[in-house]
Amino acid sequence: MFKINTVQAHCDIPCKVYDPSVIQYSALSIVRFMDLINDEIKDSDMNYNRIAQLSRLVTVKEQHAKEVKAEIATIWGDYFKEPQISKHPEIHELVHSIMQLASKCKQEINREHGVELLKKINKFTEIFWETKNIETEKKYAPYPPELVIVCPKLKSV
């Protein structure tokens, strides 16, 4: 009755809208929250307001770590197929290490884990944009913790 041609989709919905900037923002936020948490716990004058602030910082830090894991899994699982995987076989190990570091960032307040997470996300970002033949550049984020992020070179208007 119906003549339907074969249809193939790259992911759940082939929207072509993937961007690792969300996970970069989350990783920067994690480092920032770790900095703020460490500032809070250094002060020996812990009153109820400071305890409440500390609780909020920890909660949001962990939410951002969850976002990193969810977004990286989505891009890796939905976007990276052949030929991207053949060209970048290290992507599996890289994603796994990002997932592991995001978990450590949930468990601990070691700033170095957050910085390492961002570095690995930056590597993932470079690979991602390379698969789209888009050049990247390194810039300092304009807000604390002012760490380096990888950005696509966007076309001028």
Beta-bridged to residue 140, according to DSSP, are 148
Report the alpha-carbon distance of residue 35 to residue 87 in Å, rounded: 37
pLDDT given for residue 46 in this prediction: 75
Contact present, 122 and 149 (Cβ < 8 Å): yes
CB atoms within 10 A of CB 89: 9
Domain ranges across the chain: 21-152
Strands (E), the chain: 136-140, 148-152
The verdict on domain 21-152 having CATH code 3.30.70.940 is no
Q: Which mean pLDDT values do the consecutive 10-residue runs of the chain (157 residues) have?
A: 55 70 95 93 80 93 97 94 95 98 96 98 98 96 96 93
- Tokens 């570095």 found at: 119
Taking the model in full, what pTM does it have?
0.86
pLDDT given for residue 42 in this prediction: 82
Q: Is 88 exposed, middle or buried (0-12, 13-18, 19+ CB in 10 A)?
A: middle
- Tokens 């995001």 found at: 102
pLDDT given for residue 1 in this prediction: 55
- Cα distances (angstroms) measured from residue 52 to each of 40, 44, 47, 98: 11, 15, 9, 29
pLDDT given for residue 33 in this prediction: 95
Query: Radius of gyration of the chain from Cα atoms?
Result: 19
